[in-house]
Every structure is written in structure tokens, then in C-alpha cells.
Amino acid sequence: MSVYYGQLIFEKSQEGRKGYTLPKSPIKHYELNDKYKRADCPQLPEVSEFDVVRHYTNVSFKNHGIEKGFYPLGSCTMKYNPKINLEVSSHENFTTLHPYQPVETVQGVLKIYHETQKMLSEISGLSKYSLNPFAGAHGEHVGLMIIKAYHESRGDHKRKKIIVPDSAHGTNPASASVSGFEVVEVKSNESDGTVNIPDLKEVLDDEVAGIMLTNPNTIGMFEKDILEISRLVHEAGGLLYYDGANLNPLLGIARPGDMGFDITHINLHKTFSTPHGGGGPGSGPVGVTKELEPFLPAPVVRKAGDLYLIDGKGKRSIGQISHFLGNIGVVIKAYAYLLTNGKERMKEIAKMSTLNANYVKDALKSVYKLPVDKVCKHEFVFDGLKDESIDVRTLDIAKRLLDFDIHPPTVYFPLLFKETMMVEPTENESKQTLDAFIDAMLKVAKEAKEDPEILKNAPYSTPVRRLDEAQAARKPRVKYKDLLEE
């Protein structure tokens, strides 16, 4: 590629070149007061339309994204985000609303909020939702504040501990700690990563505020003892928190509410049609049982007769945790997705996510080490290559996959195994895409055996070759000038 393509847009600038035509101004002449004028002209690139479009198209391809190729990143997986839903939520009837408008003039959007609440309740078996939290971790924090408020409302001030399994998503212990709890870790069963009941019994006492779980768990196994776990925690006076970030394998099939969970968050970004990553807008609705409803954050949308109303802070509410009603644009996308799929197709989503994961798992388990050889739900983990005499690590495999235009699976998480590779194909990939991934994984395994150096020096085709990960984290060199000096 010529140097030209690697240039910054500023370097492509040529004095006098333009990429726009402005209509004639209807204003004859207007002299701006000097105090409003800047001293120097802004340093903007002067480029043609081709320059701009090509520049940003090329920049966008320097990174791997779901628009470019398969993205089987386990856990925080990007699922299906139909473009049409983005268009719906960007409609000017929504984008021009103001949060301080009188409620009579925003009935439509309040109806969407209210109905989405109800649909999430039905899907998860919990009584009521607040759609106000901005993210999954924000939902966790809100849920934990509700747990705290619940115990304190009963005069039970000694419950300071939150139990978290060692396979939990990192945000779980972090949220518990940020919310002022002491985190108590329980080990998982080695056979399938589920909660070890004797270990759980040992840590249950009258200081336990609750437990945070996800089911299926982080390695895609269904917690078959969930009713027993729920009974034990409730008997000890604790509450059960469900991490519903990735709800796809359960949709229309099983409900956290029926498993005994008292509180859950759901990531609308991930499961319900909003892309995530890069800090874009998200939404982490929190649902609770009937008993916990008064603790939900404010404001709350309520229906009175035919009118939708917004209520302020109730007596026991944990208070306001976001501006207004959260990221309503994300809620609109979720609403469109829920209506498009309807009850029946919800089940298909769950079944396809499970079928796809098992298809890939079974096609690769003769070559990759499968520590838990059972039917999984939406995701599963490998523990490196099956042939342990091959001197290649999971990191090398992940890097080599980039040369096949495939985003690597999540690596080295959860910490249950040494060479973890966590794969979630998701429900919306075709058999042909899955087969291409399987092919690539088999080719990489073959290279590992025949010429491991290929893997150790990968990737070859990416704009940046293999990074020194420690240095990249400690001393990131993100300034263009620094890179030029290399």
C-alpha cells in the first residue's frame, strides 16, 4: 500500500481543496462582533469527498468488527443488532423529545418504556423493572443497593457479605465491592464449573446479604442445582442476584424468577438489539420481585387509566441513579426487537444459540481440549490444544485467527483453566460461517503441530503485528508521532 493510505487526514490536506458545496446564504452580510471571533483560523483538513470517504473506510477496516467478520467472543458477546431498529430509534419523533416536556405530550415513548418493562418481566419471571440503569455493571450496582436497602429496611444491619463464584464475570465482584460489600468467593466444581454446594453451605451465615450468579454459568453450563442453591441462600436470609447480561439461551425457555432469583439485570446492549463496546450507549434494566418493588430507583413510569405518568422518589426507593429515564433510545431498539420476534421466535433465539455452540464444540473437540464434555448452552470453553506436547499457547492461537479475518474467542477467562478459550458463536450465524470458523480452527491446530513458529509470530496481516501486551497496557503508545518514531 502506498504511504498515502497510511496518512492522517490532516496530512492529506491540500490548500483550497473542498468536499462540500454550500447553498447560497439568504443573509446578505453580517459582521460578527470582534469579541466572538477567534484569533486564528481553525486548522481543518482541506480534502475532497473521495479523500474523506476513503480515509474513514480504510481506518474502519484497520480494526476487526462484527460488520467485517465472525466474532465469537464468549461472555460479553455482540449478538444480533438489526439496522432497522437503529433507524426506528433515530426517528425524529423520538430524537426531538425533551425530558422536561409535560407527560401528556410524551405518552408514546412512555408507553414504549412501560410495555418494555412488562415484556422483560414476562421473559424473566420478575415482577417489575426499572429501565433507568445505563449498563450491566450499573444494573449490578443498582441491584446491590436494593439488596442493601432491603436488609436495612428490616433493621438487619450486619449483612455485609456478597457471595460470588470464582467463574463470575469480573463486574460482579467489582460491583459488590464498589457497593460497600465484602466479596466472598466460592469455588466451582471442577467437573462442570457449577457452584459447589458444600462450599456454599460453609460460607452461608447471618452476615450474608446475597449471592450473585449467572445461569447458564460463564462456561455455558446450566446450574442444575439452582433450586437447591436458592433454598439455601433464602434460608440463610440472603437474596439471589441474577446476572442476565447474556439472556439469549434462556429466552422463552426458562426464567430467572422461576429459579428463585430476587433481582436481575439484563443487558439490552448484547441480547436485545444494541451493539456494545467502545463506550456507546447501553442499558441495563433491573427487575425485582413484588416484595422489592418499592426499592426500585426513581423515577418510575406508571399507568393510571389510559395515561402514563412519571413518579418521583417513593419513600423506600434507592433514589435517582441516572438522568431521567435512562437511555431511552436503547429501550426503543429493544422494544422493536421484542415486537419483531414475538413470543414464539424468542424460543428460536434460545435454541439456535444453543445449537450453534454445540455444533462448533463437537466439531472441534477432537483437536481442542474440552474440559467439560457436556451439552452446553450458548457458549463453551476449550483449554488449549488437546495434544499438550505441542508448544503453543492459547494466545498464539488467538493471534493466528486474526489472519483468517476471525475475531478470537475470549482468552484466559474464566480463570478455571490454564489455557481457556471461550467461544460463543451466537444465534444468528449461518452454518456456512460456523463451518468457516471450524475450518480455520482446524487449520491453525494443524499449523501448531507442523510449524509452531507460524503461530508464535502471528498475526501477519493486521496493521499492527503482535504487541508486547504488558508494555501496551503499561506504556501505551497511541500518539501517531510516537509510532512514526519507531
Write out the residues near ligand PLP by the rule CB under 6 A.
Answer: 75-76, 135-137, 169, 171, 214, 243, 245-246, 267, 282, 284
Closer CB to ligand PLP, 89 or 410, in the complex: 410
- Given a contact cutoff of 8 angstroms between Cβ atoms, the answer to whether 139 and 296 are in contact is no
Residue 286 CA, chain-centre distance (Å), reads: 15
Closer CB to ligand PLP, 274 or 317, in the complex: 274
CA distance 297 to 300: 7
Closer CB to ligand PLP, 284 or 408, in the complex: 284
Least distance in angstroms from the C-beta of 76 to ligand PLP: 4
Closer CB to ligand PLP, 243 or 383, in the complex: 243
Contacts with 97 (C-beta within 8 Å, 6 or more apart), sequence order: 106, 109, 328
Closer CB to ligand PLP, 125 or 284, in the complex: 284
Least distance in angstroms from the C-beta of 171 to ligand PLP: 4
Closer CB to ligand PLP, 139 or 257, in the complex: 139
Closer CB to ligand PLP, 165 or 282, in the complex: 282
Closer CB to ligand PLP, 171 or 196, in the complex: 171
Least distance in angstroms from the C-beta of 169 to ligand PLP: 4
Least distance in angstroms from the C-beta of 381 to ligand PLP: 14
Least distance in angstroms from the C-beta of 246 to ligand PLP: 5
Least distance in angstroms from the C-beta of 229 to ligand PLP: 18
Least distance in angstroms from the C-beta of 276 to ligand PLP: 7
* Count of alpha carbons within 13 angstroms of residue 316, beta-carbon side: 15
Closer CB to ligand PLP, 135 or 336, in the complex: 135
**3-state SS string for the chain:** CCHHHHCCCCCCCCCCCCCCCCCCCCCCCCCCCHHHCCCCCCCCCCCCHHHHHHHHHHHHCCCCCCCCCCCCECCCCCCCCCHHHHHHHCCHHHHCCCCCCCHHHHHHHHHHHHHHHHHHHHHHCCCEEECCCCCHHHHHHHHHHHHHHHHHHCCCCCCCEEEEECCCCCHHHHHHHHCCCEEEEECECCCCCCECHHHHHHHCCCCEEEEEECCCCCCCCCCCCHHHHHHHHHHCCCEEEEEECCCCCCCCCCCHHHHCCCEEEECHHHHCCECCCCCCCCCCCEEECHHHHHHCCECEEEEECCEEEEECCCCCCCCECCCCCCCHHHHHHHHHHHHHHHHHHHHHHHHHHHHHHHHHHHHHCCCECCCCCCCCCCCEEEECECCCCCCCCHHHHHHHHHCCCCCCCEECCCCCCCCEEEECCCCCCCHHHHHHHHHHHHHHHHHHHHCHHHHHCCCCCCCCCCCCHHHHHHCCCCCHHHHHCC
Closer CB to ligand PLP, 113 or 242, in the complex: 242
Q: Which residue is nearest to ligand PLP (CB)?
A: 136
Closer CB to ligand PLP, 427 or 447, in the complex: 427
